[in-house]
Amino acid sequence: MVLILLVSLYKLCRFFAMSGAERLVVPECVSQAGSWAGGGSSRERREVSPGVNTDVRAALDRILPALHQAIARAKQAAGPAELRRAIAEVFQLVEEAWGMPTLGRDVAKVLCDVIRLEGGLDLLLNLLYTAELETKCQAGKLLEQILVAENRDRIARIGLGVILNLAKERDVPQLAQSVSGILEHMFKHTEETCFQLISDGGLDAILYWCRWTDPIVLRHCAMALANCAMYGGQANQRLMIEKRTAEWLFPLVFSRDDELIRLHACLAITVLATNKEIEKEVERSGTLALVEPFIASLDPEQFACEMLGSSDNSQGRTADDLQRLVPLLDSSRLEAQCIAAFYLCTEAAIKTRQKKTKIFSETGATQSLKRVVCYSTSSTTSSLAKKVLRMIGEEVPRRILPTVPNWKPCEVQTWLQQIGFNKYCQSFLDHQVDGDILLRLTEEELQEDLGMDSSITRKRFFRELTELKTFANYSTCDRSNLADWLGGIDPRFRQYTYNLLTCGINRNFLHRVTEQQLQEDCHINTGFHRVRILTAAREMLHSPITLQTASNGTDVFISYRRSTGSQLASLLKVHLQLHGFSVFIDVEKLEAGKFEDKLIQSVMSARNFVLVLSPNALDKCMGDPECKDWVHKEIVTALNSGKNIIPVTDHFEWPDPETLPKDMRAVLKFNGIKWSHEYQEATIDKIIRFLQGRSSRDSSAGSENGLDCLSSPGQT
């Protein structure tokens, strides 16, 4: 025992001597080697609470004795090999608990608490601080599995420096999987913890790993960014944008290898987009445009089955997690509504099997889902919301026709029944209240003419009416698109559209209106709302109008084979954008009939043509004399337009020129640049040299992969 203590102290001293100046300070309770080396714990072992479920108690009675023994063996281990075996035993018990149907979360929660209370959590932190690489990896793997809320609290208090120091060792693949997983959990702790993680390099490490190809690391990265966006608050969301998170989410959403990666990355980008202060920066990244097409391609029930088969996701999400999705459902952004509805649909499938569907009403998701069904203009989102309501046994409301100004009295009656005001249907019918009158109702008319005497009832009614005004479609009477302009200032301001229109005010006239007129004639009673509307109107009047013409074009068009080149193409897009280049990459969002013309125009208007040559990228071009293949068409267009063509090869074998159609053989004359995942920045620098005026036909530019200098085509 003394020998172990001396060895640990020696490692600790050597650790400080080598890199103390670069590493974050770690509390003494973690760095003291002797604090965990003793054979027992000063705390009493935790017994099973008498209030737990009978099945949970039975599972704990079976698992806890083995857990106590494994923890004791870890604390008494005579050497690294014995220590790793004990940690592996604990890991196996925790993993088994998480995988239990229905009971898993409750059982695993107790095990995680026991590990903390018996000193196991502090032991793992110490090992991550002082042990050799193999033991660090084993300890990190277990720590990632036990980060329930109380354990995250403990890490935030005494161990965040340990985790952040490990994150600085970002080029060690063995550590990256567990450290990225730990960061994923810690980003959902508190806003203060998120800020510290961002400030001290945790977010930088996650964004660095976004360029990797390891699916486990990428899953953790996507979820870490989603957690940071959802739990970090608006100030940390601004920091995420400053570190170009929106751009680095693009390759994660664009990836075709793992749908979980794409889903979590979509969640992250949509949460960021709901922050009005950074909305424009998020839109400019191009990542947001990928969300709806991806969600529309998924089957939520099949996705839920895949999640149930994964130990990391089989228990679904907590009530706190689901609570954070409700604001997305209530958002004015269709992408946010869409992904929240999909996420809740997969959770509904999981919670239905666990018989825990009450969680949806407890978190307020049920009412928001019903609102989406009534008002959403997206068929995908509405369909997903209906599925959730059916799965959890809730009544599915009818969709409300959005053209409210054109409603007949019978449609007003349907709306009243749907919002629970059946008592007043006859009164509204007697007065022939149609859509036009409904949108202009005052509280006085509601009370005196329609008999709604209770002030509380009137407040409830106007709450529903405000929501109806906000989501209504005014296109039949709003030729200047005033509704969307008001929504651009604040989504809630769409409620004032009809008031303004009935006063003869459109976007072009709004800057002439006074605040008094907005209050007295248009009945906009909130003073701050009036000021914001008038300020925006005057800014619109004085802001310069910029016209973008097709002749401006983009700096770079990226051509790639979707089956093998998507990941590299998306990485190139991000790298080049971060260096100031405008980039076009098709994301399969164009309508089929317009796809070819749009794509050809994009090639012709771009100044450079980057051709991603991934494995078998040109195979479909062979035997394609009619030029039907998209990559073939893009290459021929680039050649005929005299574009600066830059081939970027990744495990690509150059074909025999005779096997390619004559109209594209000239592409083999251009120097290719070999892509290196390990040295991405150096490769990008070489590509940029080609983009900045030096033709890729010029072999002096530094490429080693062109065919000009070879007697016959060869492998790059």
CA pair distance 487, 360, nearest whole angstrom: 29
Strands across the sheet with 608-613, in order?
583-584, 556-559, 608-613, 644-649, 673-674
| Locus of tokens 């991806």 | 294
CA-based nearest residue to 404, from 478, 338, 506: 478
Nearest-angstrom CA–CA distance, 229 and 224: 9
User: What residues are paired with 559 via a beta bridge?
Assistant: 611
Q: 510, 521 in Cβ contact below 8 A?
A: no
Kindly list the distances between the CA atom of residue 588 and the CA atoms of 199, 297, 358, 561, in Å, as whole numbers in the listed order: 37, 12, 39, 13
Residue whose entry in the numeric block shows the structure tokens 């000193």: 119
CA distances (Å), origin 569, targets 344, 360, 556, 581, 712 = 31, 40, 12, 14, 27
* Residue 642 amino acid letter: G
Angle between helices 630-640 and 592-605 (to 10 degrees): 30
Residues in the chain, how many?
Answer: 716
Q: Residue 631: which of 607, 647, 650, 651 has the closest Cα?
A: 647
Buried b (16+ CB within 10 A) or exposed e, 241-279: beeebbbbbbbbbbbeeeebbbbbbbbbbbbbbbbeebb
Catalytic position from the list 292, 335, 347, 634? 634
Would you call 715 helix, strand, or coil by DSSP? strand
Q: What is the secondary structure of 664-709 as a DSSP string?
A: GGGGGGSPPEE--STTHHHHHHHHHHHHTT--TT-GGGS-S--STT
Phi and psi angles of residue 674, each rounded to the nearest 5 degrees, phi first: -80, 125
86, 123, 164, 499, 654 from 140: Cα distances, Å: 14, 11, 13, 60, 43
Check if 634 is active-site: yes
* 124 contacts: CB under 8 Å, gap ≥ 6: 87, 139, 140, 142, 143
Q: Give the CA radius of gyration of the chain.
A: 30
Residues with active-site annotation: 634
